[in-house]
Each structure stands twice: as C-alpha cells, then as structure tokens.
A = this chain, B = another copy of it.
Amino acid sequence: MSQTPDSAVRTYIDEHRAAFLDDLAEWLRIPSVSAQPQHAPDVRRSADWLAGKLKETGFPTTEVWQTPGAPAVYAEWPSDDPTAPTILVYGHHDVQPAAREDGWDSDPFEPAVRENRLYARGAADDKGQVFFHTLGVRAHLAATGRTTPAVTLKLLIEGEEESGSPYFRALVEEHADRLGADAVIVSDTGMWSEDTPTVCTGMRGLAECEIRLHGPDQDIHSGSFGGAVPNPATAAARLVAALHDDHARVTIPGFYDGVVDLTDRERALFAELPFDEQRWLRTAKSHATHGETGYTTLERIWARPTAEVNGIGGGYQGAGTKTIIPSTAMVKLSFRLVAGQDPDHIERAVRTWAADHTPDGIRHEITFSAATRPCLTPLDHPALQSVVRAMSRAFGKPVLHTREGGSGPAADLQDVLGAPILFLGISVPSDGWHAPNEKVELDLLLKGAETAAHLWGDLAEHWRHAP
C-alpha cells in the first residue's frame, strides 16, 4: 500500500472546502444542547442530520443509537483489505449551552466567518472536529483511488458528552461487539498552538468523593462547649491539610502505587514546547504556581496524579458571626490519576486514610462517584507514530507531544474495548471551548481533514492487523 500523495489530498480538500463548510454550518445551526431539556429534539435532529451526512459521505452503515439520555451516532465503513486494522473514531455532537447575551458577537447558532475563523457554538467542541473526518476520508479515497478506506473505519459520536456522558459507558458495553477496534482515535481535544502541532498521548483519570463528618447531633454553643468536644469543621480541615506533605506530594498511603513515571524522552519533548509560565498563569487566572517538588508545571498537570479539594463546607457561612460548633462538615475531593493507577485501589486507599484521620467522637461517611480511568499511549506505539507522521505531513513541520490534564469518557472506550487511545485534535487554546465566541481556525480545521486523509493509509501500511 503506497502513501497517499500529499498534493492530491490537498487538492481534493481545496476543491471541496466550500461545500464542507456549508455542510458544517448547517449542522452548527442545530442547537444540540444536551444539558437543556428543551433542546432534546434538537439533539435528536443533530444525530439524524449527522447519520444522514455520514451515509452521503459513503459509510455503508449509519445508525442512531438511543440511550436513556441523548442519542449517539454510529457509522461503519469496512476496508476491503482484510488485514487492515480497525479504527474507531470518537467525538460528540452535543454542545454546551450558549446565548447571544452571554457575550457573543454573533448568534452562537448562526455560524459566521470572520478573519478565516468560523464562529459558532460547537465549531471546535466538537462538531468541527468530528466533521473534518468526513472530508478526510473522502480525500483519502480520492487521492488513493480506493473505494473503501485503507482501514476499517468506525465512528461513535455521542450526544451527551457536555452533560457528563451518564449513559456512555453502558452504551459502549452494550455495543462492545460492534465497536471492537485496534485503536481509538479521539477527536475532541486540541494541540499546543497555531504554530506548534502536537499529539496528545494520554489523559488523566478521575476519582471523586465526598466525605461528610458528623460531630455533635446539632450545632452547639461554642461558649458552653468550645474547647472540650471535637469540632467536625476542624476535622474536615485537618483531613484536607493532611492530603499533602511539604513537597505537595499526596500523603495517602498507596496513592502512588503503580504510577507510570514520565520517561526522559517525554520530559525532553515537553521541554521543547514553547511554554511561557507567566502567560499560563494568566490563563489559569492564578497568582503563583504550586505543585509537586521535582516536576515542571506541564509535568504536574499532564503526568502527575493530584488531590484537590473542590468544595469544603461546614457551620455558619452567612454574614457576621455565629458562635457555634457545627454539627457537620463536608469536603469534596477529586483525584486526577495517571497511567498505572487503578481507581478501585485509589478508592480503597482513600477510605482507609479517611478512617485513620477521623478523630474520636467524629463519625465519617464517604461516597465515591463513578471514576474515570487514566489512559496513556507510549511514544513508541506504532499507531501513535502513524498519527505523528500524518500530522507532520499535513502541517509540514515536526510534531511535539502533550498530554491532557482533564479526564474524558474516551477512557471508557479503552477500558471496555481494550484498545489504545490516540488523540487527533486541531483545536487551539484560543478557541474558547464552553465560552462565548467559540471558534475554530479554518486553516487548522482543514489540516485536521488532511491529517485524517494521511492517517488511514499510514496506519494500514505500518500497523498491519494480523488477520
């Protein structure tokens, strides 16, 4: 199998750019806001629209999959090469809420092009990045003269990512047979900047819990009893304070068990990124960096596990004063996990630690939410190398690496399907995900299509699937 000629791909994309953008604009006009019940028909319409467009693109199988929440779209295009790998593309067709009065310069659901940028809710997150795959696969076929893709291509485009994907895992489990793939391509992330194409290699996982601490059976007078009984707000505070040592390392015994350390090569590649800490602090709206000793800021957010308190509360929080020892207090903790950490092990470790740190006379209750596993694809994985080559050809420059500090439902795909996760995203930090005036850079959007057009051939050539 020969490499797709780069110029043929580019020519196809240039010739079909206008129609592609018209189609995308049509989709963006559907306000598929999954979090707002009044938009449920729009989410449904968005799924139907996408299924129709994928059929038009050439996918022989397109289906809308119902869930107890919003519908997902599934499409499949088998390769005629029986030894080709199977690739599952993940994205989502629902969008964040948006209203003109939030500060948009134009209607969020009436796409507008200004200075080569397409402004609309969903332009980058995630309709634009799903949709470049339709152009990419057509360009791949046109440039190679193939009638089916060089890999068997599956798409799973969910409809409730912006609502926390409550039914996603169950959907994947239900359809695990049909979703089976050698690798998953997630097109719901971004790259470092307009000038620095990057491939993300992993995502942190997430475990979350709430710990409620019960002291006196009701609020009691701090004059009458203060200094002589345990205070649950103090216990809550001491629990949070005990989370980290002086090196900002998490102190929970067993927390770091199994953590896959950064390799020297990955640290070196991170260090090549043009990172400006002052500028990053402005993005973080923060006034200092603070984190685990021995790691840079990027290493801390991408490759190190963390414990953060997301909420703490207890006693009187209104105006003025109230001289009580509160009856209860609570903390909400979240733990970002990295490759090698197991959420179940973390839950057990946190439970033991919390019990050990609850003083006499205080009762604690701890509740964990559903966890998300971390994912990481090693730099030397052949499929990852294909993504890097395809992106490098499209952008005409070397590709560096990032990771994602957040956590996403794509990790469920890795978990259920047992396939490695690869990331192909062309969004940039200025795209304003979830914010007013969300946009996508048109040049980058087309580079996404170009990358996808190169990727299928490269994967088929370098990562042949044993039949």
Which A residues lie at the B interface, using CB under 8 A?
204, 206, 208, 210, 215-218, 220-231, 233-234, 236-244, 248, 281, 284-292, 297, 300-301, 304-306, 308-317, 320-327, 329-332, 334, 336, 359-363, 369, 404-407
Contacts and interface: CB of A to CB of B under 8 A. Distances in A.
A284 B321 contact: no
A206 B323 contact: yes
Contact of A361 (B224, B244, B290, B331): B290
B312 A227 contact: no
A277 to B, nearest CB: 10
Contacts of A308: 222, 226-227, 231, 234, 325
B321 A288 contact: no
Nearest to A215: B286
19 contacts: A217-B286, A221-B406, A222-B306, A222-B310, A226-B301, A226-B308, A227-B300, A228-B300, A231-B308, A240-B241, A286-B361, A287-B363, A288-B360, A289-B361, A308-B325, A310-B324, A310-B325, A311-B314, A312-B313
Contacts of A405: 223-227
A25 B284 CA distance: 66
A291 B240 contact: no
Contacts of A218: 285
A229 B323 contact: no
A363 B362 CA distance: 31
B315 A226 contact: no
Contacts of A329: 312
A435 B242 CA distance: 39
A60 to B, nearest CB: 37
Contact of A291 (B227, B243, B287): B227
A204 B229 contact: no
Contacts of A305: 227
Contact of A310 (B216, B300, B326): B326
Given A227-B292, A227-B301, A313-B314, 20 more contacts: A208-B321, A222-B308, A223-B336, A224-B284, A224-B406, A226-B336, A229-B284, A233-B310, A233-B312, A234-B240, A234-B243, A234-B309, A237-B240, A309-B314, A309-B315, A310-B315, A310-B325, A310-B326, A311-B316, A321-B369
A334 B226 CA distance: 9
Contacts of A281: 229
